[in-house]
């Protein structure tokens, strides 16, 4: 007993303490005026929020707020109390709130709070007060009854429909519409029939809302009678809403109204009818909608076509297909869009024709629909159209086969690569480029001799693209090498060598190398060009030998340019080795073009030797501008290890260059030098190393080449660039340099 008594005492003390805590705020609230001290309002709002779902706290706070309503508090205080009671009010506060319903200035706030209290006593209070209310207060009460959908108020509310007060009529109509009770239909209908102008529209809206409520409640018969009335007589917007109600009711009478509405151009009914065409189910409906299509205006046809496409009913296909040849471009485009989901093989020629001859948007839509049509019969129809047709139509059929990924079409497409119509030939080659396999190359290459050398570019591009998809060296180059060996034409052989150069691989490289010694100059030159464009530096020595020993200047220059290009390709050559190769290359070809190419490569070498060599070209009038930019780029990399040297080279550029970009670049490098301070920045960095299956932590325990005595001399060390971080240019950021994940790199420096 002592424990129970003690707990009860604590509760009593707690409640008393809470009441004392906010009693002062309540008192301060009573005298509150707008613009005054808001501290009491903030405190009370906090109490309301903190009450949450605690019934005891909510009740205590609500009762205190209700006391404000029954006091002589200011208007501002009472409206604030009502707002808070909307959050915490309950049955106990209904009398205090109901007492405000006769006050026109406070009725709105009282109704706001009352409508949120989940008790039937609220409805009773509103109904009891309604007869004695007037003006704005009456309108607020009526709105509250409508919001709470109080069916017991219908009889009282309908009496107001005979009033001359338009505001009262509007409020009553809105409330009856919200309530959605069958007992309101007859009075509303009677008032609607007798009314005109704005009042008639108001009552029509109420009837529509009431009918929607009845339909949702299952009273389809009553709602249908209202919809039918409104669909015939009301404004376009109301009629559209009535039509929607009829369709959602699945009324048997809905379809005739919907079909009629589709013909009413540029009206709300027409748009609603088109949207609702999706709602009525069944093949019969689809057939009737399709039958109405030819009778509609262009606007009506486009709206209904969109709906029929979304219905996805194949029964509409014939009617839609009939409009693919309409005189109206917009209708043709809409028909093409709709038919894509439901069309059959008979649709294909019509879509192909639109894709070939229509306006831009129509062509694009027709092509998209051709790709969406379903069934093997579609593919067969497309194949039939690539033979007897205009070139434009043939090309469209081929493009559709490509979009549909019809690989079985490849044997039928192959002969078209020698078609004398450029658009047909290009479409065929594009399909083969995207879909053919390396196994198709033998058949494709048989057509090479039939095409004039000047017109082979697209074919050779296609062959190279297909060959590159091979999974190994043999699959990539076997067909090309076989054709090369069997060919008697020098033009054919030269073209095949160029393709082999683009495809790459051991077998291709072997053939290209051997072709450098061919008796025919055309073959030697083709092999040289292919090797000059090789994707790695493997042919470097081959190009050097040709550049040194070729009997004619043209061949020597071509080999030298290729040699320079290969030097700059990514690889494991150390900077000093690349530099030696550039020197060697310019000894073979010292033209301005060769110098520019070499200087561009030098700019990627971050070594003081490269800086010195590039500086030699600064006074060369033919390449001085390129040399300035190269020197600046090299200096960015050498700045950390050779700060004074780098500054000395680029300072004159920063001061005297006539190239604004060069001046700014040099000034930026000098500014970086000033930021380096006394940090150790002379570092060399290795390549990044990785090992399959090893994460970053495990990689630290694996010894790579820089840690192995026998492999240390093979590591292509290079200077670690500074300024990978603009804010901290001395920071050694390996991630910024190498990129990637699960990789490691080494840094080294010398210390005296």
* Averaged pLDDT for residues 443-464: 93
Give yes or no for residue 623 having a pLDDT over 70. Answer: yes
Q: What is the pLDDT of residue 11?
A: 35
* Averaged pLDDT for residues 722-731: 68
Which token pair is 28? 């301060």
Q: What is the pLDDT of residue 183?
A: 87
* Averaged pLDDT for residues 684-700: 86
> Which of 492-501, 507-516, 563-572 bottoms out in mean pLDDT, i.e. has the lowest?
563-572
Q: Residue 404 in contact with residue 434, Cβ under 8 Å?
A: no
**pLDDT tens across 158-214, in order?**
888 888 888 888 898 888 888 888 888 888 888 888 888 888 888 888 888 888 888
CA distance 434 to 422: 18
**pLDDT tens across 325-343, in order?**
899 999 999 999 999 989 9
In the DSSP assignment, the letter for residue 192 is H
> Which of 129-133, 491-495, 707-711 bottoms out in mean pLDDT, i.e. has the lowest?
707-711
Q: What is the pLDDT of residue 21?
A: 54
Q: What is the pLDDT of residue 4?
A: 29
The closest of 515, 514, 535 to 525, measured between CA atoms, is 515
In the DSSP assignment, the letter for residue 92 is G
Q: What is the pLDDT of residue 727?
A: 67
The values of phi and psi at residue 744, to 5°, are: -130, 155
Q: What is the pLDDT of residue 161?
A: 85
The winner for highest mean pLDDT among 453-457, 507-511, 598-602, 664-668 is 507-511
Residues ≥6 apart with Cβ < 8 Å to 741: 696
Q: DSSP states of 524-579 as a string?
A: HHHHHHHHHT-SSSTTHHHHHHHHHH-SSHHHHHHHHHHHHHHHTSSSS--HHHHH
CA distance 475 to 124: 89
In the DSSP assignment, the letter for residue 471 is S
The values of phi and psi at residue 266, to 5°, are: 55, 40
**pLDDT tens across 407-429, in order?**
999 999 999 999 989 999 999 99
Residues listed for the chain? 752
> Which of 5-14, 455-464, 653-662 bottoms out in mean pLDDT, i.e. has the lowest?
5-14
Burial 149-187 (b: 16+ CB within 10 A, else e): ebeebbeebbebbeeeeeebbbbbbbbbbbbbbbebbeb
| Partners of 719 in the β-ladder | 684
Q: Quick one: CA torsion of 345, 348, 349, 350, rounded to 10 degrees?
A: 120
Q: What is the pLDDT of residue 201?
A: 86
Q: Using CA of residue 462, residue 467, residue 468, residue 471, what is the dihedral sign?
A: positive
Give yes or no for residue 110 having a pLDDT over 80. Answer: yes
Q: How far is CA 281 from CA 56, 195, 243, 277, 344, in A?
A: 55, 37, 16, 9, 22
Under the banding of pLDDT at 50, 70 and 90, the label for residue 500 is very high
Q: Using CA of residue 74, residue 79, residue 84, residue 89, what is the dihedral sign?
A: positive
Q: In this structure, are strands 747-748 and 718-719 parallel, antiparallel, or unpaired?
A: unpaired
Q: Residue 720 in contact with residue 684, Cβ under 8 Å?
A: yes
* Averaged pLDDT for residues 565-590: 88
Mean pLDDT of the chain: 87
Indicate the SS3 state at residue 309: helix
Under the banding of pLDDT at 50, 70 and 90, the label for residue 12 is very low
* Averaged pLDDT for residues 272-283: 82
> Which of 240-244, 310-314, 536-540 bottoms out in mean pLDDT, i.e. has the lowest?
240-244
The closest of 264, 260, 233, 258 to 243, measured between CA atoms, is 258
Burial 32-55 (b: 16+ CB within 10 A, else e): beeeeeeebbebbeebbeebeeee
Q: What is the pLDDT of residue 720?
A: 78
> Which of 208-222, 396-410, 595-609 bottoms out in mean pLDDT, i.e. has the lowest?
208-222
Q: What is the pLDDT of residue 10?
A: 32
Q: What is the pLDDT of residue 510?
A: 97
Q: DSSP states of 351-376 as a string?
A: HHHHHHHS-HHHHHHHHHHHHH--SH
Q: What is the pLDDT of residue 15?
A: 39
Q: Residue 223 in contact with residue 255, Cβ under 8 Å?
A: no
* Order of all β-strands in the sheet with 684-685: 718-719, 684-685, 747-748
CA distance 164 to 575: 99
Under the banding of pLDDT at 50, 70 and 90, the label for residue 724 is low
Q: What is the pLDDT of residue 695?
A: 85
CA distance 317 to 646: 76
Q: What is the pLDDT of residue 6?
A: 27
Residues ≥6 apart with Cβ < 8 Å to 322: 293, 294
CA angle, residues 95, 101, 106, in degrees to nearest 5:
110
Indicate the SS3 state at residue 132: helix
Q: Residue 746 in contact with residue 706, Cβ under 8 Å?
A: yes
* Averaged pLDDT for residues 358-368: 93
Q: How far is CA 153 from CA 110, 126, 157, 184, 503, in A?
A: 19, 9, 6, 10, 86
3-state helix, strand, coil in the chain (%, to 5): 70, 0, 30
Q: Residue 559 in contact with residue 512, Cβ under 8 Å?
A: no
Under the banding of pLDDT at 50, 70 and 90, the label for residue 14 is very low
> Which of 483-497, 580-594, 737-751 bottoms out in mean pLDDT, i.e. has the lowest?
737-751
Q: Using CA of residue 632, residue 636, residue 640, residue 641, what is the dihedral sign?
A: negative
* Averaged pLDDT for residues 483-492: 95
Give yes or no for residue 29 having a pLDDT over 70. Answer: yes
* Averaged pLDDT for residues 143-157: 89
CA distance 175 to 190: 17
Token pair 């894709």: residue: 355
The values of phi and psi at residue 732, to 5°, are: -90, 90
Q: What is the pLDDT of residue 236?
A: 76
> Which of 160-164, 230-234, 420-424, 493-497 bottoms out in mean pLDDT, i.e. has the lowest?
230-234
Under the banding of pLDDT at 50, 70 and 90, the label for residue 535 is very high
Q: What is the pLDDT of residue 251?
A: 64
Q: What is the pLDDT of residue 726?
A: 61
User: Global pTM?
Assistant: 0.66
Residue 663 CB-density burial (10 A; 0-12 exposed, 13-18 middle, 19+ buried): middle
Q: How far is CA 84 from CA 17, 64, 67, in A?
A: 21, 11, 13
Q: What is the pLDDT of residue 252?
A: 66
Under the banding of pLDDT at 50, 70 and 90, the label for residue 47 is confident
Angle, helices 643-656 vs 608-615, to 10°: value is 30
């Amino acid at each position: 007993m002592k424990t129970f008594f003690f707990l009860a005492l604590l509760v009593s003390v707690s409640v008393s303490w809470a009441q004392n805590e906010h009693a002062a705020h309540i008192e301060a609230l009573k005298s509150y005026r707008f613009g005054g001290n808001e501290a009491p309002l903030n405190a009370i709002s906090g109490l309301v929020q903190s009450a949450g779902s605690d019934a005891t706290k909510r009740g205590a706070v609500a009762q205190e707020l209700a006391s404000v309503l029954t006091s002589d508090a200011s208007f501002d205080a009472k409206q604030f109390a009502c707002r808070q009671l909307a959050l915490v009010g309950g049955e106990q506060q209904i009398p205090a709130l109901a007492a405000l319903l006769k006050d026109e200035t406070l009725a709105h706030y009282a109704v706001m709070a009352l409508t949120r209290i989940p008790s039937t006593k609220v409805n009773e209070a509103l109904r009891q007060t309604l007869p004695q209310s007037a003006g704005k207060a009456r309108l607020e009460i009526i709105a509250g009854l409508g919001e709470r959908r109080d069916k017991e108020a219908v009889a009282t509310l309908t009496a107001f429909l005979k009033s001359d007060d338009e505001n009262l009529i509007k409020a009553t109509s809105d409330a009856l519409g919200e309530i959605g009770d069958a007992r309101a239909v007859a009075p509303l209908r009677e008032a609607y029939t007798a009314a005109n102008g704005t009042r008639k529209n108001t009552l029509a809206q109420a009837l529509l809302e009431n009918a929607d409520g009845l339909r949702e409640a299952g009273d389809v018969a009553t709602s249908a009678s209202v919809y039918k009335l409104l669909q015939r007589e009301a404004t376009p917007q109301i009629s559209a809403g009535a039509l929607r109600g009829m369709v959602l009711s699945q009324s048997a009478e809905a379809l005739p109204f919907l079909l009629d509405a589709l013909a009413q151009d540029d009206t709300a009914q027409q748009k609603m009818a088109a949207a609702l065409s999706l709602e009525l189910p069944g093949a019969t409906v689809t057939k009737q909608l399709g039958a109405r299509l030819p009778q509609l205006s262009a606007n009506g046809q486009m709206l209904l076509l969109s709906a029929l496409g979304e219905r996805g009913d194949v029964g509409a296909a014939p009617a839609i297909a009939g409009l693919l040849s309409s005189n109206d471009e917009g209708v043709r485009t809409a028909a093409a869009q709709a038919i894509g989901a439901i069309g059959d093989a008979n649709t294909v020629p019509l879509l192909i024709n639109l894709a070939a001859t229509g306006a831009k948007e129509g062509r694009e839509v027709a092509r998209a629909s051709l790709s969406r049509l379903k069934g093997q019969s579609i593919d067969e129809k497309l194949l039939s159209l690539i033979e007897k047709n205009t070139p434009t139509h043939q090309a469209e059929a081929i493009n559709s086969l490509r979009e549909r990924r019809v690989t079985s079409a490849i044997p039928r497409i192959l002969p078209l690569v020698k078609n004398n119509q450029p658009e047909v030939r290009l479409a065929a080659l594009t399909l083969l480029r995207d879909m053919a396999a390396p196994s198709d190359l033998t058949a494709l290459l048989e057509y090479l001799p039939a095409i004039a050398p000047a017109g082979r570019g697209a074919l050779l591009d296609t062959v190279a693209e297909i060959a590159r998809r091979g999974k190994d060296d043999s699959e990539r180059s076997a067909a090309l090498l076989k054709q090369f060996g069997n060919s008697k034409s020098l033009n054919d052989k030269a073209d095949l060598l160029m393709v082999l150069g683009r495809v790459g691989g051991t077998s291709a490289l072997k053939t290209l190398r051997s072709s450098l010694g061919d008796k025919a100059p055309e073959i030697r030159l083709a092999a040289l060009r292919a090797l000059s464009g090789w994707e790695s530096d493997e042919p470097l020595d081959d190009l050097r030998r040709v550049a040194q020993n070729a009997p004619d200047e043209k061949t020597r220059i071509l080999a030298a340019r290729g040699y320079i290009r290969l030097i700059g390709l990514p690889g494991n050559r150390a900077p000093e080795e690349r530099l030696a190769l550039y020197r060697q290359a310019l000894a073979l070809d010292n033209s301005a073009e060769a110098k520019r190419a070499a200087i561009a490569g030098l700019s990627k070498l971050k070594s003081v030797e490269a800086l010195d060599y590039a500086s030699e070209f600064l006074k060369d009038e033919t390449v001085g501008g390129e040399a300035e930019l190269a020197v600046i780029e090299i200096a960015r990399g050498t700045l950390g290890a050779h700060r004074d040297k780098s500054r000395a080279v680029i300072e004159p550029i920063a001061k005297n260059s006539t190239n604004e970009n060069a001046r700014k670049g040099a000034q930026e490098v000098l500014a970086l030098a000033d930021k380096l301070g006394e940090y150790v920045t002379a570092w060399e960095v290795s390549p990044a190393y990785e090992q399959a299956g090893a994460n970053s932590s495990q990689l630290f325990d694996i010894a790579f080449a820089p840690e192995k005595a026998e492999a240390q001399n093979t590591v292509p060390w290079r200077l670690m660039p500074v300024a990978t971080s603009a804010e901290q240019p001395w920071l050694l950021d390996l991630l910024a340099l190498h990129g990637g994940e699960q990789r490691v790199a080494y840094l080294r420096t010398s210390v005296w």
